[in-house]
């Protein structure tokens, strides 16, 4: 059964906070990586590059966890979500990463270090919210 994001959760996700994103490796061990985070009000959304370990993990096992902490108040403004990926799509991902770059860096378009990569939008449906 899905858990619902509250207005306070949505506010935190719309602010400029780095998130820790956990996927599961083939052997079941956790893989954690920092990501920019977004929401559509129902899902937690991340934008990742095709070909990354995270993508391979998600395609094999959609279970994830994500933690978002307000750096100014990390003890009291925290969002920890366990859920599952319900959609991975390239549609709109390039425009979305530009939006995220503006949110997190103040600049558009997104400029990645290294070779250009295809982007993917990952939608996470929360099962448990803490």
* pLDDT tens column, 58-103: 999 999 999 999 989 888 899 999 999 999 999 999 999 999 999 9
Phi (first) and psi of residue 46, to 5 degrees: -125, 155
Answer whether residue 21 shows pLDDT above 90. Answer: yes
State the Cα–Cα distance between residues 84 and 126, nearest whole angstrom: 7
Confidence at residue 108, expressed as pLDDT on a 0 to 100 scale:
73
At 74 the pLDDT is: 82
Domain region containing 52: 7-129
User: How many domains does the chain divide into?
Assistant: 1
55 falls within a domain:
yes
How much of the chain, in percent, has pLDDT values that exceed 90? 81
Residue 111 has pLDDT above 70, yes or no: no
Q: Is the peptide bond before 49 cis (omega within 30 degrees of 0)?
A: no
User: Residues 37-55: pLDDT tens digits?
Assistant: 999 999 999 999 999 999 9
Quote the pLDDT of residue 113: 52
Could you tell me if residue 70 is inside a domain?
yes
- Which value, to the nearest 10 degrees, does the dihedral of the CA atoms of residues 105, 93, 124, 75 take? 0
Residue 2 lies inside a defined structural domain of this protein: no
Q: Which residues pair with 65 in a beta bridge?
A: 22, 82
Q: What is the CATH number of the domain that holds 40?
A: 2.30.110.10
Decide if 34 is inside a domain: yes
């Amino acid at each position: 059964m899905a858990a619902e994001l509250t207005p306070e959760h949505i506010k935190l996700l719309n602010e400029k906070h780095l998130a820790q994103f956990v996927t599961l490796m083939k052997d079941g061990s956790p893989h954690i990586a920092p990501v920019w985070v977004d929401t559509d009000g129902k899902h937690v959304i991340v934008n990742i590059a095709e070909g990354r370990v995270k993508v391979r993990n998600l395609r094999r096992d959609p279970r994830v966890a994500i933690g978002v902490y307000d750096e100014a108040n990390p003890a009291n403004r925290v969002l920890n979500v366990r859920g599952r990926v319900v959609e991975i799509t390239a549609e709109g991902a390039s425009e979305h990463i530009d939006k995220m770059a503006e949110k997190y860096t103040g600049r558009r378009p997104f400029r990645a270090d290294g070779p250009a990569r295809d982007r993917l939008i990952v939608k996470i449906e929360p099962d448990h919210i803490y």
